[in-house]
Amino acid sequence: MNLWFTENQTDNLRLSFRVKNLVEFRKSKFQTLAVYDTVEYGRLFTLDDFVMLTEKDEFVYHEMISHIALSCHPKPENILVIGGGDGGTIREIERHSRVKNITLVEIDREVVEISKKHLPFVACGFDDERVSVIIDDGIEYIKNHKNKFDIIFIDSTDPVAFAEGLFHTDFYKFVFDALKKDGIMVAQTEYPFLKGDFIKEVFSSLKQVFPIVSPYLAFIPTYPTGMWSFAFASKKYHYINDLNPEFTKDFAEKLKYYTPEVHKAAFALPKFVKDLIE
């Protein structure tokens, strides 16, 4: 019982989980995939030895990436998710009966396969008839779609290798064009404590493209530093003024992190985060 999985978060910072057993380890064309059973956090899914999710705290990330924008858009019918092959984000989007179509564009087929096999708590929404899964590079996919989506979620890995382009101004311009005239984009944008320069750059790029832009925060214990940021970027709807608590009311009892109060609070930024984006 002395097996550990260690994530090297930076050259100087590590997070270790005591592991009961390795469930599966495989290499795809794109990355190394692994699933472990841990003592404290239940099932753990890693890509290239970076934590993607754990069974115990994944609800924070998936509820917070999805319900914020869905609570501000009055008619979110066509949704695009780039990345997110584990299924956690589409599981949350499906709770909204106003949503008619969800397109998930994941670059690595094996992420979807391994999640269906070992992570049923997130991969439980692939059979919903509103979902289409496309195995493709999200950057290429978005270039070929204009004026089509109400909300686009960028549920990607860290900004390295094939995910790097998902954080550039050119990509945000394609996202802007792929959205309808009142569309919203939400993206995961790393951790302000140690990625300040990166966050500065991302928000400066977003502000060049979208008229309404703000970071928001959530507390995720197994992600580096525990404080995680997301970007809300919108053509029309405002993250607080257009929040409608009715949009999550039908399933509010099923959620574990998101509430309309948490929604508002997530945009109350600590001063050092505010300074990064001003």
Tell me the binding residues for spermidine: 62, 86, 155-158
Identified binder of ligand SAM from the candidate list 139, 186, 199, 269, rule CB under 6 A: 139
| Whole-number CA gyration radius for the chain | 18
Q: Which residue is at the shortest CB distance from ligand SAM?
A: 83
106 and 133 Cβ atoms separated by less than 8 Å: yes
163 scored as a contact of ligand SAM (CB under 6 A): yes
Query: Between residue 54 and residue 73, which ones bind ligand SAM under the rule CB under 6 A?
Result: 61
Identified binder of ligand SAM from the candidate list 5, 121, 126, 162, rule CB under 6 A: 162
Residues 6+ apart with CB under 8 A from 109: 28, 135
Number of chain positions touching ligand SAM (CB under 6 A):
24
CB of 276 to ligand SAM, least distance (A): 19
Identified binder of ligand SAM from the candidate list 54, 103, 188, 189, rule CB under 6 A: 188
* For helices 169-178 and 196-209, angle between their N-to-C axes, nearest 10 degrees: 40
Identified binder of ligand SAM from the candidate list 66, 76, 96, 138, rule CB under 6 A: 138
Identified binder of ligand SAM from the candidate list 102, 107, 119, 266, rule CB under 6 A: 107
34 scored as a contact of ligand SAM (CB under 6 A): no
Active site residue 155: yes
86 scored as a contact of ligand SAM (CB under 6 A): yes
Closer residue to ligand SAM (CB): 71 or 229: 229
Q: Classify the phi-psi angles of 8: left when phi > 0, otherwise alpha if psi is within -120 to 50, otherwise beta.
A: beta
Stretch that binds ligand SAM, among 4-12, 68-76, 79-87, 198-206 (CB under 6 A): 79-87
Q: Which is the catalytic residue, given 48, 155, 242, 275?
A: 155
224 scored as a contact of ligand SAM (CB under 6 A): no
Question: Which residues sit in the known binding site for S-methyl-5'-thioadenosine?
Answer: 31, 106, 137-138
Binding site for ligand SAM (CB under 6 A): 47, 52-53, 61, 82-86, 105-108, 111, 137-139, 155-157, 162-163, 166, 188
Give catalytic residues, as residue numbers.
155
